[in-house]
Amino acid sequence: MTLMNFIYGFLVLIGAFVFQTTLTGINRKITARIQKRRGPKFYQQFIDIFKALSKSSITHGWVYDFGAIMALGGIAATVIFIPVAGFQAFPGLDNVFVISYVLAVGMLGMAMSAAGSGNPWASIGVSRALTNMLAYDIPLMVVVFTLIFINKSGSVADLALLQQGSGVFGWNFIKLPLGGIVAVVALFGMLGKKPFDSFIAPAEIASGPMVEYGGKQLGMMFILHELMTFIEVSLILNMFFGGGETLVIYLIKYALLYTFTNIVSQVMPRFKIDQAVLFFFRVPLGMALLQGILVIFLGWGY
C-alpha cells in the first residue's frame, strides 16, 4: 500500500466514471433510435450530472448527507477494487465476496439517506429495492459458488484470467451456459433495467429512493448510479466473459454487454416486485442449482 496505489485508484475511479457516463449517453441515443427519435447529445449525461451538482440543495438532517457520502464512498471503494483488464489499483482485494459486500455498503448508505429524508415513498422504494436484491442475488450467488468450486479461487482477476487463452470457448458463459444465462438475467436485476425496475418507478412511487434528492445530492446519486453500473457490468464481464486481455478489448466487451442489456430492456414491460421475486426464484434459481448439481455432483463442465 503506497501512494501510487492511491493515485492509481483515483485514476481508475475517474476513468470508470468518464467511460460509463459516456456510454450511458450513447445508450440514451441508442434508446432514442429504437423509439424512432433523434435523441440527446452523446455527452448529455455529463451535462445532466454537472447541472445537478451546480444547483442549490436542501438537507433533511445529518443522516441524509452522511448516507449519501457513505454510499458514494463505499461505491468508490468498490470501483477501486474492480480489476480492469487484469489491472488492479490495490492488488489482492478483488475477492468476489469483498466486492459484492462493499457494494452493499453503498446500497445501505443510499437506503439510509433516502429513508432519512422522511419521505414514505423513499422507504417504499428502498423496501422494493432490497426485495429485488434478494431476488436476483441468490441465483447469482449460487452460480458464483459453483465458479469458485471449479476454479478454487475467489479472486475476480483470477477468474477472468483463467478464461483467457482459448478464445470464446474459454468463457464461463460458454462452459457453464445455464449459469451464464442466470448471470446475465441477474445483471438486468442489478442494473435495475426493465423488467426489474419497479423500485425506481417514477410514475408510481415518484422515483422511489430518489424522491427527495435535488441539487448536489441528486448529482451525487447520478454519479453513484454510473459507478454502480460500472461495478456490476465489470463483475459479470470478468466472471463470465473472460474480462479482457487488454484495456481496449475489455472496454469493447464492456460496451457491448451494457448496450445489450439496454437494448433488451427497451422492449420489456415492468414486473411487479412479487412477480420479479417469483420469476427469479423459479427460473434462474432452478437453472443455477441445476448447473451447480451438474458441476459438483456429476463433474460436468470442467
Residues 154-213, interacting with other proteins (CB under 8 A): 154-155, 158, 202-203, 206-207, 210-213
Could you say which of 22, 57, 265, 266 contacts other proteins (CB under 8 A)? 57
- Which residue from 30, 133, 174, 263 is in contact with other proteins, where contact means CB under 8 A? 133
- Choosing from 18, 61, 246, 260, the residue that interacts with other proteins (CB under 8 A) is 61
Q: Work out how close the CB of 176 gets to other proteins at its nearest, in angstroms, rounded to a whole number.
A: 13
Residues 72-91 that bind other proteins (CB under 8 A): 72-77, 80-81, 90
Q: Which residues contact 170 (CB under 8 A, 6 or more apart)?
A: 162, 163, 164, 242
Give the amino acid at 65: D
End-to-end alpha carbon distance in the chain: 36
Least distance from C-beta 248 to other proteins, angstroms? 27
- Smaller CB distance to other proteins: residue 121 or 171? 121
How many residues bind other proteins, per CB under 8 A?
111
Residue 162: its H or E element: helix 156-163
**Which residue do the cell numbers 434478494 mark?**
134
Binding of other proteins at residue 39 (CB under 8 A)? Answer: yes
Name residues contacting other proteins, limited to 101-120 (CB under 8 A): 101-102, 104-105, 107-108, 111-112, 115-120
d(CA 109, CA 42): 30
CB nearer other proteins, residue 257 or residue 276: 276
Look at residue 171 and give its three-state secondary structure.
Answer: coil
Q: Give me the least distance between CB of 263 and other proteins, in Å please.
A: 17
Identify the CA nearest to 14 among candidates 44, 37, 46.
46
Cell (9 digits) for 138:
441468490
Give the DSSP H or E segment for 276. helix 273-296
Mapped onto helix, strand or coil, the DSSP state of residue 44 is: helix
Residue 28 binding other proteins, by CB under 8 A = yes
Say which amino acid occupies 244.
G
**Which span sits near other proteins by CB under 8 A: 151-159, 162-170, 178-186, 239-247?**
151-159
Instruction: From 128-136, 178-186, 233-241, 260-268, give the range in contact with other proteins by CB under 8 A.
Output: 128-136
Backbone angles phi, psi at 155, to 5 degrees: -85, 130
283 in contact with other proteins (CB under 8 A)? no
DSSP 103: H
